[in-house]
Amino acid sequence: MFKVLTLNNISVNGLERLPRDLYEVASEIANPDAILVRSADMHKMNIPATVKAIGRAGAGTNNIPVAAMSKRGVPVFNAPGANANAVKELVLAAMLMAARNIPQALDFVRKLDGDDKAMHEAVEAGKKKFVGFELPGRTLGVIGLGAIGVKVANAALELGMTVYGYDPAMTVQNAWQLNAGVRQALSVDDLMSKSQFVTVHVPLLDATRHLINADRIRLMKKQGIVLNFAREGIVDETAVIEALNDGHLHAYACDFPANTLKGHPRVIATPHLGASTIEAEDNCAIMVADQLREFLEYGNVRNS
Ligand code: MLT
């Protein structure tokens, strides 16, 4: 029997890939052979010496001490691309919400109180107050053309946007997926200066911390919208708040409710919902459970 410790709720459809006659799966288990994790921070955890493999039901592995595990010969499996559609949909939703001032309009409507006449007057006032803009003809810059970035770029193109991408390390597989209509920027600065919308789809590394900083935000077209549905820290949020306050940026959308941003009316922040769909949770769990199984039973290391 292989023992698998789960540190977060993992989709049942994923867990079913580990047959009960061979696997014991539980959130508390002694001497586990493997760990299945979603977002629990494993950096301070005492990872038992019996652990032979770790599966992360998601794309990023920054909650896992990967280098330390490598030294121990413990592979860390992840699920690149398995939640890409879910993240793409949330990014598109945020772009549309920002362009049409939806969060502010919802807030306005929630606070309305009065008779039919007052409501009618409020509708007229709201129509004037929340005039937005449309996406066709606007330019989106996509930094990072991995599984998610490629999907976002292709979808924005279908919405009629002009799209620039930048990724010096794009894989051949992702290059094949990218619509030929997506133009290539020469550098991050080149992309920033061409774009009104900028979205980042890169991991958080030393090289990408504050990749979007005050100088780069100033390169963007006026009424800019910055989107970070990748990792907190890639965008310098203090610089974002300054640019929102002086009107250079129209909105900032991100998937992390950071304290710096709290309460700003033109910030759209979600609690790391990018991969939180039924489909993405199933896809990620299935992909890592299959990899764990192949490793534990056959010793194969498959890079999905
Ligand atoms: C990812 O890295 O793919 C996401 O963080 C997944 C998640 O939300 O758990």
Interval 145-177: pLDDT, tens: 999 999 999 999 999 999 999 999 999 999 999
- Write the DSSP assignment of 51-110 as a string of letters: --EEEESSS--TTS-HHHHHHTT--EE--TTTTHHHHHHHHHHHHHHHHTTHHHHHHHHH
Mean pLDDT, rounded, for 93-103: 97
Write out pLDDT tens, residues 22-52: 999 999 999 999 999 999 999 999 999 999 9
Residue pair 255/231 in contact (Cβ under 8 Å)? The answer is no
Residue pair 201/144 in contact (Cβ under 8 Å)? The answer is yes
Residue 5: CB atoms within 10 Å = 23
102 and 243, same domain (yes or no): yes
21 and 132, same domain (yes or no): no
189 and 257, same domain (yes or no): yes
Pocket of ligand 1 (CB under 6 A): 38-39, 58-60, 83, 272, 274-275
Q: What is the ipTM of this complex?
A: 0.95
Q: What is the pTM of this model?
A: 0.95
- Residue among 83, 151, 201 to mutate when testing ligand 1 (max atoms within 8 A of CB): 83
Looking at every residue in the chain, the average pLDDT score rounds to 96
Encode burial over 86-96: b for 16+ CB neighbours within 10 A, e otherwise: bbbbbbbebbe
Is 220 part of a structural domain of the chain? yes
Rg of the Cα atoms in the chain: 22
Mean pLDDT, rounded, for 78-94: 98
Return the half-sphere exposure (C-beta side, CA atoms, 13 A cut-off) of residue 284: 31
**Which token pair is 223?**
């009424």
Is 34 part of a structural domain of the chain? yes
Is 303 part of a structural domain of the chain? no
257 and 288, same domain (yes or no): no
Is 304 part of a structural domain of the chain? no
Encode burial over 255-292: b for 16+ CB neighbours within 10 A, e otherwise: bbeeeebeebebbbbbeeebbebeebbbbbbbbbbbbb
171 and 53, same domain (yes or no): no
Count of domains in the chain? 2
Q: How far apart are the CA of 67 and the centre of ligand 1, in A?
A: 19
- Residue among 205, 284, 287, 304 to mutate when testing ligand 1 (max atoms within 8 A of CB): 284
Is 63 part of a structural domain of the chain? yes
Report the percentage of the chain scoring pLDDT > 70: 99
Q: How far apart are the CA of 149 and the centre of ligand 1, in A?
A: 15
Read off the amino acid at residue 18. Answer: L
262 and 282, same domain (yes or no): no
pLDDT band at 261, cuts 50/70/90?
confident
121 and 7, same domain (yes or no): no
94 and 69, same domain (yes or no): no
Is 294 part of a structural domain of the chain? yes
Q: How far apart are the CA of 39 and the centre of ligand 1, in A?
A: 7
209 and 118, same domain (yes or no): yes
Q: Which domain CATH number covers 110?
A: 3.40.50.720
Is 122 part of a structural domain of the chain? yes
> Atom 6 of ligand 1 has which residue's CA nearest to it?
58
pLDDT computed for residue 302 by the predictor: 80
254 and 284, same domain (yes or no): no
57 and 89, same domain (yes or no): no
pLDDT computed for residue 304 by the predictor: 56
Is 98 part of a structural domain of the chain? yes
Query: SS3 of 182, please?
Result: coil
pLDDT computed for residue 262 by the predictor: 78
Q: How far apart are the CA of 25 and the centre of ligand 1, in A?
A: 21
Report the percentage of the chain scoring pLDDT > 90: 96
Q: Please state, in angstroms and rounded to a whole number, the distance separating the CA atoms of residues 234 and 286.
A: 29
pLDDT band at 303, cuts 50/70/90?
low
113 and 228, same domain (yes or no): yes
| Domain of residue 189, residue span | 84-269
> Atom 8 of ligand 1 has which residue's CA nearest to it?
275
pLDDT computed for residue 167 by the predictor: 97
